[in-house]
Amino acid sequence: MGMKDKLQTKLSKAFDGKLEDAVSQIVGSYNGPGVFDPVTEETTAETITYTGRGVITGFKVERIDGINIKVGDAKCVILSNEIDAVPDVGHTISAGTENFLVHLVLPDPTGATYQLHLRRA
């Protein structure tokens, strides 16, 4: 069992146990491939959705600089093996009644998790 598998196993147990109250169902979406008509401003792209689990938290107050990290921004940690697609910049992430845009995606070095910088939509 490699480091990625160990991390995912331990984090999955934590999501089911000690972190259960903090874990949210995550629904991501983005526009798939399609053709944009500039005259009618319509596209043939269909919305693609994916789901998973994650923990969404805020940033520490001292990290909020108003430029890179703004008031209302959040960070989210999700397990890569529990999500149906790879999140990317510009995707919409919904958790409960809150909607965010993915501002930055940082996979950990083992590929076990994704850390997302989210901005309220």
Question: What domains, with CATH codes, occur in the chain?
Answer: 3-120 (2.40.10.270)
How high is the mean pLDDT of the chain? 91
What SS3 state is found at 72? coil
CB atoms within 10 A of CB 7: 18
**How buried is residue 82: exposed, middle or buried, by Cβ count under 10 Å (0-12/13-18/19+)?**
middle
CA distance 17 to 19: 6
pLDDT in the model for residue 100: 97
Quick one: pLDDT band at residue 9, thresholds 50, 70, 90?
Answer: confident
CA distance 30 to 111: 22
CA distance 27 to 108: 21
* pLDDT at position 10 over 90: no
* pLDDT at position 52 over 90: yes
Per-residue pLDDT of 65-109, as tens digits, reads: 999 999 999 999 999 999 989 999 999 999 989 999 999 999 999
